[in-house]
Amino acid sequence: MSTTVENIQRQIGENPILIYMKGTPQLPQCGFSAQTIQALMACGERFAFVNVLDNPDIRAELPKIANWPTFPQLWVEGELVGGCDIVAEMHQSGELETLIKAAAARAQEGEGDAQA
């Protein structure tokens, strides 16, 4: 059985755009998660999510791994982008959409390569 740390590393590695949040995109359970999801959804690309309220082990371990104490946490291509304030600022400047669209495009290219 894999450890929580291994699960987190696998999730981050397998999902080019991943948000760890409280609740779900359809039903966020905190204002910060809701704000971050709105910005992410405005980019128009698919993304994965993990509800940390349903995963107390991840909720406890991820802040240690990420060196980031709060949720939500947006991860793009294995790198922590940040939480609500950073994502909101990036959304306002247009930086978030550029980052998300580039990651989604690279992920689609990678899927094509994997089928060879």
Q: Which residues are annotated as a binding site?
A: 22, 30, 59, 71, 84-85
Report the distance separating Cα 51 and Cα 21, nearest Å.
5
Q: Are 49 and 21 in contact (CB under 8 A)?
A: yes
Binding residues for [2Fe-2S] cluster: 30
Annotated binding site for glutathione: 22, 59, 71, 84-85
DSSP codes, 46-92: --EEEETTS-HHHHHHHHHHHT--SS-EEEETTEEEE-HHHHHHHHH
